[in-house]
Every structure is written in C-alpha cells, then in structure tokens.
Amino acid sequence: MKKYNVAVVGATGLVGQEMMRTLERRKFPVKNIKLLASERSVGKKLKFKGKDVKVEILNKNSFKGIDYALFSIGAELSKQFSPIAAKSGAVVIDNSNAFRMDREVPLVVPEVNPDAAFKHKGIIANPNCSTIQMVVAIYPLHLEVRIKRIVVSTYQSVSGWGKEAVEQLINETKSIVAAGIALQGSGRVYSAGSGRPWSASSGRVYSTSSRVNSTTTKVLPHQIAFNLFPHIDKFEENGYTKEEIKMVQETRKIMNEQQMRITATCVRVPVFISHSEAVNIETEEKLTADEAKKILSKAPGVVIVDDPANSKYPFPIDATGKDAVYVGRIREDKSIPHGLNLWVVSDNLRKGAALNAVQIAELLIGSRGL
Ligand SMILES: NC(=O)c1ccc[n+]([C@@H]2O[C@H](COP(=O)([O-])OP(=O)(O)OC[C@H]3O[C@@H](n4cnc5c(N)ncnc54)[C@H](OP(=O)(O)O)[C@@H]3O)[C@@H](O)[C@H]2O)c1
C-alpha cells in the first residue's frame, strides 16, 4: 500500500493531538509524520506510533515533500500558511474557518458530500464542529422528506474553544469548589467545602464566591464553571454570533441547499468535551418518529440512543472518545404538520474535527473514508 508524508499543523493543540491519535487508530498509511506548532513548542516531543517525534516550528519551508497537511491552527495562520502548503504540492485539510465559505474550496463531511472532496484545488475545508454533527444526523432524513427549515440550539463544550478554555473551566471549578458550594433544597441552604456563610434573599441562594475572581477568566468571555452563556465567537451587527452564522452558511453549502431556512442559537456550557444540540426540523412531507428512527438506524456515522422509558438518551460524557454522532429524543413536533425534534451529541474533537479531517484524507487516497 502506498504511504504518505503527513504534516499535522497545530500538533500540540487539542485538535492536533486528536489528529495524531486518529491517524494511528485508523491506520492511515503514514510514511513520515511532521509535527508543526509555534515557537513555544519547539523541542517538545510527542509520541506517534510509540516513537518520539520532535515538534518543529511552522514556517514557509515546512511543507517540502508533504502529501497531506492537516491544519488545526487559527484562521489567520491558516490563511497565511495553507496556500504555501498547497503550492508545495500538499493537499491541505483545514479545520479553521479561513476557507469554509470560499467558492473554490470544498467543505466536506464524508457522510454527506464526499464527491466534493475530489474537486479541491489544494485546500479542503473541514466544517465547524457543531455543523458536522448536525448534518450527519439530519442529511439522511433530508434525502427522504426534504428539510424546509431547521431551528437548532447548541450546548457546546469548552474544548471547542481550544486548550486554554479547558484550563479556564478547570481553574474556575477548582477555585469555586475550594471556596465551598451552596445548594438550596426544600427551603434549606447546604454548604460544602470551606463552609463559608451564605446569604439567602427572596428564596434564592446568592453567594459571592460562586463568581470566580475575574482574573481567573481567560479566553472565554465569561465565567464558565457553574454557568453558561449564549455567546460563541464574535457578535455580528445583526445580533447573531459568528458561530450561529457559520452553522447556517456551512449547512447550506454542505447540503447544497442555498435557500434552506436555518436559525441557530449557540450556547457554551461547562462540559469538557462533546457538543449537544436540540434540533428541530420542518420537512416537506410527513415522517413519523418511527420512520425517522428506521432511517437513522442505517445512516452512516449515526448511533441511536433513544429509550426515554429507561431514561436513555445521548449525553456528552458517553459520546466523548467515540467516533459516532449519537441521536436520541426522536419525536414528532406536534406544533407543525411535518416536523421532528432530535437531540444530537458528538465528540467535537473527533467527528467535529480530527476524525472528519482524516476521513477526508482517506477518501482521497481511496481507503475507507467512513
Ligand atoms: N476544538 C475544536 O473542537 C475544534 C473543532 C473544529 C475546528 N477547530 C479549529 O481548529 C483550530 C485549532 O483548535 P484547537 O482547539 O486545537 O486549539 P488549541 O488547543 O488552542 O491549539 C492551537 C494550536 O495552534 C498552534 N499555534 C498557535 N499559534 C501558532 C503559531 N504562531 N504558529 C504555529 N502554530 C501555532 C498551537 O501551538 P502551541 O502549542 O505551540 O501554541 C497549537 O498547536 C482552530 O482554528 C479551531 O477553530 C477546533
């Protein structure tokens, strides 16, 4: 079997690390691996297939002889270095949002639009993590009854914002737990930890120490421990965040449905890994919940966990470290003639990033791809 020289760009990051594990686990035919990151990481050694590999600094000469360059650095750096890598003859699969809406760049989810991958001109874009898991779950239903409108609310983990956001959740949680946690139950206030005094006002519990010192907050816009906020990426003038707009535009591009009506609310939650989504779809024709389950039970990349009588539905801690997109709470939306509600959960570092990227490379080399 032919083997390929692969560069992992951003190898020390959350996605880069997952890329390396995914290449190993799926036995991608790697001849040589090159690990690239910033100056900060030069000299670090990372294990690949049991061997230590030195991290090198990313520069314009990094891509000589590279066949596939899997990028997971920020958009600005991708814009700078992806064209250089492509010019050197590598096929770039980029995880950032730098090229996703570029007409010349395919945006690929192998379960949905695998053929688009072959139209690349050197760069292929990997979609946003929340978009990937949603389209994997809804596309098989779209093929059956055509989706007219999507209303999605996301519950996104901190790892979706990189390693520093994970550190922020850890640090804030530690500092709050160390100070003590107040719980309210049947009118009584319980405190744990240091047992600091708590004040109750109008039946609710307030604690100054449930807010962490603002100096602990780093990369996310607010405290995330014991909190959540509807703010992922920057706000645009129309009141939506960039993350919400990405979900709309990318879904349309991947599903090749430019007129599809889509609206999204993206929320950051204090979960380490795996995003969850409440997805409502309105379809042209009727599809019962049972019919939807039947279709999804055969859909590539999808696993159904849907047994509400036994409190079984997907959740992030179960999806973490797995490849599948998990779907549950499949039920008819009784407020419209043809509608369904779904609960969709997947590991944002795997299917939402590294796995999807490696699957694209697999498609191109003619191996399994799914
Ligand atoms: N996390 C997700 O779920 C997810 C999903 C889809 C797409 N993405 C996208 O993937 C990209 C990386 O995300 P991540 O979560 O892996 O972030 P991360 O954990 O913060 O890692 C960032 C990586 O970029 C490298 N880097 C930073 N500045 C650099 C420079 N000047 N030159 C070379 N390398 C540099 C870092 O190297 P050092 O360690 O040396 O600083 C690190 O390897 C982002 O564009 C993100 O939007 C992330």
Residues 63-92: pLDDT tens digits?
999 999 999 999 999 999 999 999 999 999
Q: What is the mean pLDDT of residues 183-202?
A: 47
Per the annotation, the verdict on 275 as an active-site residue is yes
Ligand 1 proximal residues by C-beta, below 6 Å: 10-16, 37-38, 40-41, 58, 72-75, 77, 95-96, 129, 159-160, 162-164, 348-349, 352-353
Q: What is the Å distance from ligand 1's center to 167 Cα?
A: 14
Tell how far the Cα of 185 is from the centroid of ligand 1, in angstroms: 42
Q: Quick check: 194 pLDDT over 80?
A: no
Q: What is the pLDDT of residue 108?
A: 98
CA distance 128 to 108: 11
Is 348 annotated as belonging to a binding site?
Answer: yes
Query: Is 129 among the catalytic positions?
Result: yes
- Collapsing DSSP to helix, strand or coil, 327 comes out as strand
At 257, is the pLDDT very low, low, confident or very high (cuts 50, 70, 90)?
Answer: very high
Report the nearest-CA residue for atom 21 of ligand 1. Answer: 13
Give the model's pLDDT for residue 204.
43
- Mind listing the pLDDT tens digit for each residue in 18-47? 999 999 999 999 999 999 999 999 999 999
pLDDT digits (tens, 9 = 90+) for 156-190: 999 999 999 999 999 999 998 887 665 545 554 44
CATH 3.30.360.10 residue spans of the chain: 131-162+229-347
What pLDDT does 1 receive? 85
% the chain with pLDDT above 90: 86
pLDDT of amino acid 205:
43
What is the CA(354)–ligand 1 centre distance, in A?
A: 12
Residue 193 predicted with pLDDT over 50: no
Average pLDDT, whole number, for the chain?
92
Task: Give CA separation, 345 vs 30, 96, 128, 143, 277, in Å.
Answer: 30, 21, 14, 21, 6
The residue written with tokens 């050694």 in the block is 45
Mean pLDDT of 339-359: 98
Nearest CA-CA partner of 327 in 141, 137, 129, 152: 137
Residue corresponding to tokens 């509600």: 341
Beta strands in 58-198 (DSSP E): 68-71, 91-94, 123-125, 147-156, 182-185, 188-191
Cα dihedral value 183, 188, 192, 194, nearest 10: 120
- 41 appears as a binding residue in the annotation: yes
Q: How far is the CA of 112 from the centre of ligand 1 (A)?
A: 26
Q: What pLDDT, on a 0 to 100 scale, did the predictor assign at position 178?
A: 81
User: Which CATH architecture is the domain 4-127+353-365 placed in?
Assistant: 3-Layer(aba) Sandwich (3.40)
Domain(s) labelled CATH 3.40.50.720 in the chain stretch across: 4-127+353-365
Task: Taking residues 299-325, report their average pLDDT.
Answer: 98
Percent share of the chain, pLDDT over 70:
89
Judge whether 40 is annotated as a binding position.
yes
Average pLDDT over residues 43-71: 97
Residue 268 among known ligand-binding residues: yes
CATH architecture of 131-162+229-347: 2-Layer Sandwich (3.30)
Q: Look at residue 289 and tell me whether its pLDDT is greater than 50.
A: yes
